[in-house]
Structure 1
């Protein structure tokens, strides 16, 4: 199968912009709880306090009036560099009320990244979280003549701007809002930049509305129980399109939205338990850590064997239920249902309680969740709806159909979208959420050239652009469309995969495919995903380009490693690994994980050698993007000596 399409579920946004939903909901249901905040200044601690739709709309309007007094208006770009805080949502909708563009920035952005994004986006103002951020901006401001304002949240900028706008009439804001059209720019979102400079993706109001409205219409019943207001705790970085989409979807859908700025496990898990979301949006790394922590706690409490038996039953139960939903099997047997019911009381309920007790369906994006983990969580009553998308597709362009997930895939095209598999295996997508192009400077810098006067370049020879409509967006910041990326409205994703009965399976990135010196092509993604299935392994990077065989660098989860060491001490002289040093036994344990990963591949594609690294890759050291993707080139440069030793031995 090379092509698959799903008919649209909602009409595209015909008029107005994203800010309209704030004021329309306030008029329709003024008392509906809209925002949940905590008492600390950054919203990271204290009890939750609810803000109604009417009160939130009033806050947005007052802030918009303050921004108007500072010269912010139609077409202006304002960068927002904060963690996932209430103020981020407040500023975004205030800016959209004025027809301004939001430029989300990661709080951990380096000085060079900050200088590039502010210059490329031509931002005239920036909102920062605290004094350290303000000083970072101050260090690059000399080269940014267009940057007129720096507003600091922890210095009370929201209160100050609100006071400044007190004399401005409401209609001065509404006149701007009423002039916003769906095809106008809402946000310029910069890619993570795993290689080269980040590129600014121009996302319109219609793009974001189409994404959110399709999810609300097609998957809304999964967000909570009938008659219950869905509630979502946003903790994904709002500098990423995924985090942006979640906040906009909640506002448009009238969901209760909470914000959690601190995403360390120590702070995030208690926040989830106290907020009690009805649905959770996260990335595979979160679910992997969640599962590993639950497993570790069970073993620590002496219930390890029961946990392992329970998860085996969970996997088998979910496999049978999946086959039944897809029409390929009768469903779980009577005996399996009975064992599942027993473990639901003893084990599965405890897992759900960690997520607040009300979560039954969760969404995973950013990369593919392993089939094994998806099955085990689903059998425990936490069904993972895996999805796939890029910044350029305004988040998800494929998703698991409601009630019919096929674990190990990223689902079928979203309603209104199409997927095409090119001759070389690249995934092409088309639909109402596909962006209009990149900011001009970002695209020129990435290509090292200049566009033709009409902003386009000829398609490379030998390509096969599938047909489809395409439309641009007018304005002073018109996006540049390059046919290497966009061809007649179709986006070449750079990912490689295949379609199975309409379900998309992603096997890797085109640029990441390893070609060994023997000419063998290996996709590292599949091997890395299987390696991370072992609770000890936190991250894995497979290498082997122009080498005689495939090897891997792995990092270990510190908490699971500590528990493993304690368990080894408890085994005593008759336990596993007796006679080996701790490092030798650890090497053996990781070796078993490598062997398990290799079992799904041919010998030529298997990992022959590995190295355990002393610490995890992190955003702080520049080895991981803020969306938790590995920066392959940076890792291979930093660990070049270790990689050489893998092959020298």
Structure 2
């Protein structure tokens, strides 16, 4: 199969632009709780306050009037640079109500990146989350010149808070606001999202109101079992990323309650209070949950028992997939009894750690180990793996409840088509697929026959589900002419909790080697437990780690990955490195490794692998 399509489930005719989603919801369920917002008073007995749809809509409208009063015109770009928080949602929707175009900027962006985005997008007004963000934005607006309208902050205690902007709009009439809100059509730009750029320069992706409406309404229809007004979620991914913003709009339109967390490290501690029914995560989060459970079992002398529990969960997950596929599994009494025993001993506790109500998790952003997917399904929390890009307005494909197939990223979502080129590249077309970059020069080579070229390699199974095989640009050609796709080997090694990233190397070389980038937190914990001396990085850079005990520990993961691939695809030598994973020169804001940067900085280490 070289092409797979799914017809749309939703009609967009009743909507003029994105703002109609909030207007419709506010009319239908004004008193429904749309958000839970963390209180500033840490000692409060109720740390999260409810915000109804009506209250949120009122805040959005008041801020939109402030934008208009300050001089924002229809089509003007407004930049938002802040951590994930409730005020981000208010500013996002208020910008659209004022007819503006939103330009999100990752809160970790460097000054040069902020300057480049502000200048390229022609930003006129900006909102920062903190004083440091505000200062960066102010400097960028000054450097860009033109006619800036100022910078405001979400910090109520700082100068130029959003409340001042709201006060400016007191005299803007409801009629004037409504005229501006209705000014954008479905085909007008809604946002310009600058790709985080694992390779090459960042590109401004122009997404329209139609792109968002098509995705929001169709995905909500496809996943109504998960996303509905009886559920709630926690968003801790950066709202500068289109996936988090798309999820927020889907939840808002469907009545699903949202809580925001700025610091992902606090998520687990809050799950017991918020008790979400649905979570969006990256595979690394799932790996850490499993690794923490294994470590806790080992501390209690139950390492062997945990291994059996893990194997049982995977077997149970496979059984569930066979049932999904209408294949009737054998009535294995032994498996049933083991699963019941381990559910009481381990699985129930793991579900409790996640709040006890999570029915599904969505995983994206990187490849998910099929056995990890099966494990979580086996403990009672199915993982829906999906795939998409900024250029596809987040998800392009996704598994569906009752049709989860581990190892695949699912079928095209409603209104979308996936085609596989003769070279094996994944091509995309449909409602969520953008029409082009802000700079037309970037469109060169980006489309073929009306399809967007994703740059990813993949194939379709006989059910039309997409299976990813790696990045087109990451393919390695060895000196003997063998073409290698490193993804399967790298993903297998990255399942080791000590390894944050694996980078296979060997372009033009006689054999394959690899760089194993350590997870700093997990490595320090392992070092304490095993009496190893692995000093943390003294400065933000890369450093080779030669501890022999650690190398022996990681050799097992390398050997296991080698056993999964052909002999010509096996890694002969590897080096272990520590890196500053907060350095946005090395890792993108969405935690993807910038391979070319790592290989450049570790060039001496790479050359040593071929001496």
In structure 2, relative to structure 1, the CA distance for the partners of 1:484 and 1:558 (3 Å cut) is closer
Report the counterpart of residue 627 of structure 1 in structure 2. 590
2:227–2:254 CA contact under 8 A, matched in 1: no
Contact 1:398 1:410 in 2 (8 A): yes
Structure 2 counterparts to residues 225-624 of structure 1, below 5 A: 229-263=230-264, 265=265, 267-330=266-329, 333-440=332-439, 443-444=440-441, 482=443, 484-501=445-462, 502-568=464-530, 583-613=547-577, 615-620=578-583, 622-624=585-587
Gaps in structure 2 of 5+ consecutive residues = 533-545
Greater alpha carbon shift after TM alignment, 131-140 vs 343-352: 131-140
TM-score (norm 1): 0.88
**Aligned CA distance change for structure 1 residues 646 and 319 (closer, same or farther; 3 Å):** same
Measured after TM superposition, the shift of residue 621 of structure 1 is 5.0
The C-alpha deviation readout for 1:435-472, integer Å capped at 9, x for no partner, is: 111002xx53x5xxxxxxxxxxxxxxxxxxxxxxxxxx
Measure the CA separation in 1 of the matches of 2:171 and 2:44: 33
Cα RMSD, aligned residues only: 2.2
Deviations 1:149-190 (A, max 9, x none): 111222262211111112221221111112321111111111
Q: Does 1:151 align with 2:155?
A: no
Residue 647 of structure 1: how far off its partner (Å): 1.1
Contact 1:3 1:419 in 2 (8 A): yes
Residues 332 and 385 (structure 1), Cα distance of their counterparts in 2 relative to 1, 3 Å cut: farther
- How far apart, in 1, do the equivalents of 2:331 and 2:126 lie? 55
Give the 4+ runs in structure 1 shifted more than 6 A.
41-46
After superposition, residues 22-41 of structure 1 pair within 5 angstroms as 22-40=22-40
In the aligned structure 2, how far is the partner of 1:13 from the partner of 1:638?
Answer: 52
* Cα separation, 2, equivalents of 1:71 and 1:545: 54
Pairwise CA distance, 1:322: 0.7
- 1:181 to 2:142 alignment: no
TM superposition shift of 1:113: 1.1
* Other-structure match for 2:89: 89
Which stretch has the larger CA shift, 77-86 or 620-629? 620-629
Structure 1 residue 401, shift from structure 2 partner: 2.3
CA distance in 2, matches of 1:322, 1:188: 39
Distance 1:494 1:80, change over 3 A: same
Deviates more, 1:623-632 or 1:534-543: 534-543
In structure 1, how many angstroms separate the alpha carbons of the residues matched to 2:194 and 2:594? Answer: 16
Cross-structure match for 1:642: 605
How far apart in 1 are the matches of 2:211 and 2:19?
14
Moved more, 43-52 or 617-626: 43-52
1:329 Cα deviation from its structure 2 partner:
4.5
Separation in 1 of the partners of 2:203 and 2:465? 29
TM-aligned CA deviation for residue 50 of structure 1:
0.4
Partner of 2:197: 193
Structure 2 residue matching 1:140: 3-state secondary structure: helix
C-alpha spacing 1:223/1:344, structure 2 compared with 1 (3 Å): farther
Instruction: Encode CA deviations 1:276-305: one digit per residue, 9 max, x unaligned.
Output: 111001111222222222222222233322
Seen in structure 2, the aligned counterparts of structure 1 residues 47 and 330 have a Cα distance that, compared at 3 Å, is: same
Question: For residues 204 and 42 of structure 2, what CA distance do their matches in structure 1 show?
Answer: 28
Q: Could you tell me how far apart the structure 2 residues matched to 1:251 and 1:136 are?
A: 31
The 1-side partners of 2:433 and 2:41 are apart by: 37
**Do 1:300 and 1:563's aligned partners in 2 also have CA atoms closer than 8 Å?**
no
Distance 1:329 1:596, change over 3 A: farther
Task: Between 28-37 and 281-290, report the one with greater CA deviation.
Answer: 281-290
How far the C-alpha of 1:510 sits from its partner, in A, is 0.6
Distance 1:234 1:515 in 2: 40
The offset of 1:234, in angstroms, is 0.8
Pair 332,173 (structure 1): closer, same or farther in 2 beyond 3 Å:
farther
Deviation at 1:617, TM superposition (A): 4.6
Distance in 1, matches of 2:44 and 2:390, equals: 27
Q: Are residues 1:48 and 2:48 paired?
A: yes
Cα 1:341–1:223 shift into 2, 3 Å: farther
Per mean C-alpha deviation after superposition, the further-off stretch among 405-414 and 316-325 is: 316-325
Displacement of 1:12 in angstroms is 3.1
1:115 paired residue number:
115
Which has the higher mean CA deviation after the structures are superposed, 552-561 or 347-356?
A: 552-561
Under a length normalisation based on structure 2, what TM-score does the superposition of the two structures give?
0.93
Matched residues in 2 for 1:559 and 1:118: separation?
Answer: 35
Pair 1:148–1:158, CA change in 2 (3 A): closer
Structure 2 Cα separation of the partners of residues 14 and 193 of structure 1 = 36
* Distance of 1:560 and 1:433 partners within structure 2: 38
Say whether the 8 Å CA contact 2:220–2:254 is kept in structure 1.
yes
Give 1:557 shift: 2.9
Kept after mapping to 2: 8 A contact 1:13/1:182: no
